[in-house]
Amino acid sequence: MAAAGSAGVPATVSEKQEFYQLLKNLINPSCMVRRQAEEIYENIPGLCKTTFLLDAVRNRRAGYEVRQMAAALLRRLLSSGFEEVYPNLPSDVQRDVKIELILAVKLETHASMRKKLCDIFAVLARNLIDEDGTNHWPEGLKFLIDSIYSKNVVLWEVALHVFWHFPGIFGNQDRHDLDIIKRLLDQCIQDQEHPAIRTLSARAAAAFVLANENNIALFKDFADLLPGILQAVNDSCYQDDDSVLESLVEIADTVPKYLGPYLEDTLQLSLKLCGDSRLSNLQRQLALEVIVTLSETATPMLKKHTNIIAQAVPHILAMMVDLQDDEDWVNADEMEEDDFDSNAVAAESALDRLACGLGGKVVLPMTKEHIMQMLQSPDWKYRHAGLMALSAIGEGCHQQMEPILDETVNSVLLFLQDPHPRVRAAACTTLGQMATDFAPGFQKKFHETVIAALLRTMENQDTQDVENMSDDDGWQFVNLGDQQSFGIKTSGLEAKATACQMLVYYAKELKEGFVEYTDQVVRLMVPLLKFYFHDNVRVAAAEAMPFLLECARIRGADYLSQMWQLICDPLIKAIGTEPDTDVLSEIMNSFAKSIEVMGDGCLNDEHLEELGGILKAKLEGHFKNQEIRQVKRQEENYDQQVEMSLQDEDECDVYILTKVSDILHSLFSTYKEKILPWFEQLLPLIVNLICSSRPWPDRQWGLCIFDDIIEHCSPTSFKYVEYFRWPMLLNMRDNNPEVRQAAAYGLGVMAQFGGDDYRSLCSEAVPLLVKVIKCANSKTKKNVIATENCISAIGKILKFKPNCVNVDEVLPHWLSWLPLHEDKEEAIQTLNFLCDLIESNHPLVVGPNNSNLPKIISIIAEGKINDTINYEDPCAKRLANVVRQVQTSEDLWLECISKLDDEQQEALHELLNLA
C-alpha cells in the first residue's frame, strides 16, 4: 500500500481501506497471504502504522478480529519498537495518540477489547516514564486517578488493570503519591459489592509491592493492605480464581519481609487452603507453595512458627498418598499432563524443599513418626508415600539421618520384596535418591548389598511379565540420575524398570568396579527392549541405552558389536515415535554417541533409509509447528499466557532441532563425504533453515549443519557452496551472537579444511570478521564467544589460506586480539598457531628486537589462568618451551615478567613445572 499519512497529510479513505484489508490478510488462514501481508506491513512507516492502528482499534465497524489484530500490533509497536517510532512522531501526533487512547479505553464497551486497550495504555505509560522517573504523560495518570474516584465500576477496573500491569505509572513517588496509591488500593480492596474489583485491586497491590522490592520502608506503610490481600486470596479461591494466591506466592518468593507483620495470618490461611479438599489440586498446591517458599526465603522468620509447619506436614503426606487407583493407573495409555502436576508429585517436591530450607533438626522430628506409621500401613498407597517421603527428606536431613543410615537402608531393602509393584519401584527410587544424598559413603558401604537386591528384584519378581505382556502395555520409569520424573506405567514391569535404572546409576558411579555385574544386568535388561519402543510405549531408553553401551565398551569390541545389533533398530524406531521432548532428546543423544563409537559401517542401508525418513519428518514438523504457532498468535484468545505457552513449544522444537544437528554431526564426522548422497534428501530442508526470514535458532543450527559438512566432507562440500555462501557471509552481521558464532566457525573451517576452491570466499570473509571483532561491544559477556570465533577464524585463514589475505597487515592485529578466554577449543587452536609462528621466528610476531615477547608471555600466562592449556595436550609443552627459550636471555626475561602480575607469574611457574 502507499506510504500515506505522513506528517500534516491525513490518510485518504482508500488508504484506510487498504490498511484494513492488510489487517484481514494478516489473519488469513493462508500462509502465503499472511507472509505477503507481513512483508507489506513491515515496510509501512511508523507514523502511518501508529495512526492507522489506533484508528482501527477504535473503529467498531471494522470487526472484532481486525480490531484485535490492530490492538496486538499497536501494543507490539509501542513496546518493542517504541524508540524507533514514537519519538519520531510529530508532537501533535504524539498528543493525539495519548488523547485517542484515553478516549478509546473510556468508551470501549467490549470487555475483552477494553483489556487489550488497557494493555496498550500500560505499555505507552511505561515508555513515557524516563530514566529519572519523570512521568511524561500526566494526563494518563490523572485519568486513572479520576477513574478510581468516579462511581463507574468499569472505570475502576480499567484503572486497576493498568496499575496492575504497570505499577510504576506514578513515576517518582513522593509522600503525597504514596498516600494516593494506598488510598486508591485500600478503597478497592475493601469494596464488598464487586468481588472482581477486590480481586483485581489485591493483584495490583501485590504488583506495586513487588515493583518496590528494595524499598523496605514502603513495606511498613503498605502493611495495612495485607489483611485485605489475604481476604481476597481466601475469597477468590472459593470463586475458582487462584490469581491472587499466585500473587501471594510471588510476594513470598521476592519480598517475604513484607509479610512479616501478618506472617502468622499468612501461614494459617495457607495451611487452611492447603488442607481443604474442596479446592482444586492447583489451589491447594499453591497454598502449600507459600509455606514452602517462605521456608526458603524467610527461614529465620519461619523457624519461629514451627507449630504451623508441624501442622502442614500431615497435609503434605496426605497429598503424597493422593495417587491414582491401581486399575486406572495400569490401564492408562499414556502419561497425562495432569500427572506431572499431581498432588503426590507436588507434595513430594514440597517436602524435599521444606527439609532443605528448614533443616533436619526441624523437619526430621516432625516427619519421622508419620513416615514410620505409613510404612507399616496395609494400604500400598501409604507404604509408597512413606518411601517417597523418606527419599524426599534425605538431602535436607542428611546430617540427622546419617547415624541411622544402616537401619534406614535395611528397612528400605525389605520393600524391594513388597507384594505391590509400585511400592517395590518406590523402594528402588528411594535407594537411588539416598545414594545421591549420602554419596560417596553410601556407595562404598552398601553397593554390594543394594546391587544384589536390585538384581533379585529384576530377576525374581513377576517373572512372566515380559512374556505375558500384551502389545498395548508399556511403561516409563523414574530418572534417578538427575531426579527427573517421567512417570510409571504397567504395574508388572514397574519394579523391574526402576531397578534397572538404579543399576544404571550404579554403573555410572562405580565405572570399572561394575564390570562383574554387566553380564547379569544385560541378560535381565535385553528382554525388556522390545517393549521399550513399541508404538504405544513411552520409554526410559534415555538412561538404559547409554548404560548398555557403557557395559559393552567395558567388555570389549566384540561385545560392543553384539550389543549394537540388539539396540540399533529400537533406537531408530524410538527417534521416530517418541513424543516426549526430554526422553526423545536423550535417545537422540545416545544414538549420535553410538554412531561415533561404532564408526563407519555401523548403519546398513535399511537403517539409513529409515533414519532419513525420520529426520525429514522431524524437520518438516518443525516448520509446520512454527506456522501453527503464528496462526495461534492471530486468534481471538491470544494473550501473554498463550504467548508464553507458544514460546515453550518453540523451545521444545528448537531443542529437538539441536539433536537433529547432533545426529547429522555424528554421521558427517563418521562417514565423511560418503554420507552426502544420503544427506541430499534433507538438503532442501536445511537450506530452508538458513533463509533470512527464519527465526535465529533455525539459522544458527542450519549454519552448524553446513559447518559440519565443510569440516568433515571437504573438498566435496564445495558443490553446495551456493546454498550457504551468502547466508554464511550475511549472518556475520546478524544481531544474534549465536548466529554470528556459527557463521564465523564455518568461515574458519573453510580455510582449514576447504581446499583451494574456498580461497575467494575466505578473502571475502576477512573484512566481515574484522568488523565484528572491532565492534565496540564485541567483548561483552553476550558477544564474546562469537567474537573469539571470529578471531580464531582469521587465525585459520592466516595459517591455511595465507594467499587469501594481506598477512603483513592482518597478523599484527590478530596478535593484539589475543588471548582468547571463553571458547577453550578455539583458544587452544590459536595458541598452537602462535607456537608455529614463534618457532619459525616470524618477524611480525616476535617484533623488532623481540619487542612483542612480553605480550606473548602474557598471552601464555593467561592461557594457563583461564584453563585453556591442558598439560596432556602437546601445545602445553610447546608453550613451556617458548617460555624457557625467553628465559635464556636474563634481560629479556626480566622485562617480560616485570609486566606480569603475581597471578600471571604463578601461572607461568606452574606451566614450567608440569609441562
Where do the domains of the chain lie, and which CATH numbers do they carry? 6-172 (1.25.10.10), 827-914 (no CATH)
Determine how many CB atoms are found less than 10 A away from the CB of residue 877.
15
Is 12 a residue whose pLDDT tops 70? no
Alpha-helix runs per DSSP H in 376-440: 380-393, 398-401, 405-414, 421-437
DSSP string, 12-37: PHHHHHHHHHHHHHHT-S-HHHHHHH
Look at 133 and 99; give whichever has higher pLDDT.
99
- In this prediction, residue 485 carries a pLDDT of 28
**Beta-carbon contacts of residue 438 (< 8 Å; ≥ 6 apart):** 394, 398, 401, 402, 405
> Alpha-carbon distance 911 to 915, whole Å?
6
Query: What is the number of residues in the chain?
Result: 915
> What is the arithmetic mean of pLDDT over 292-300?
96
State pLDDT tens for residues 330-349: 333 343 434 446 899 999 99
> Alpha-carbon distance 196 to 406, whole Å?
57
State pLDDT tens for residues 663-685: 999 999 999 999 999 999 999 99
Is 20 a residue whose pLDDT tops 70? yes
322: its cell numbers: 493422593
358: its cell numbers: 528448614
Contact 271, 291 (CB under 8 A): yes
- What type of residue is 844? L
Band of pLDDT at residue 811, cut at 50, 70 and 90: very high
Band of pLDDT at residue 607, cut at 50, 70 and 90: very high
What value does the mean pLDDT of the chain take?
A: 86
> What is the arithmetic mean of pLDDT over 553-564?
79
Band of pLDDT at residue 534, cut at 50, 70 and 90: very low
- In this prediction, residue 546 carries a pLDDT of 67
Look at 466 and 583; give whichever has higher pLDDT.
583
Contact 484, 436 (CB under 8 A): no
Look at 425 and 539; give whichever has higher pLDDT.
425
- In this prediction, residue 334 carries a pLDDT of 40
> What is the arithmetic mean of pLDDT over 678-694?
95
pTM: predicted TM-score of the whole model, two decimal places: 0.65
DSSP string, 900-913: S-HHHHHHHHHHHH
- In this prediction, residue 156 carries a pLDDT of 92
State pLDDT tens for residues 849-884: 889 999 999 999 998 888 888 777 888 899 999 999
- In this prediction, residue 557 carries a pLDDT of 80
Q: Burial, 590: exposed, middle or buried (Cβ in 10 Å; 0-12, 13-18, 19+)?
A: buried
Among the listed residues 392, 396, 426, the one whose alpha carbon sits nearest the alpha carbon of residue 411: 426
Look at 550 and 657; give whichever has higher pLDDT.
657
Is 646 a residue whose pLDDT tops 60? yes
- In this prediction, residue 489 carries a pLDDT of 37
State pLDDT tens for residues 247-294: 999 999 999 999 999 999 999 999 999 999 999 999 999 999 999 999
Residue 129, beta-bridge partner list = 135
State pLDDT tens for residues 410-438: 999 999 989 888 898 899 889 989 988 99
Is 576 a residue whose pLDDT tops 60? yes
Cα 430 to Cα 49, 423, 467, 499, 521, distances in angstroms: 60, 10, 28, 11, 20
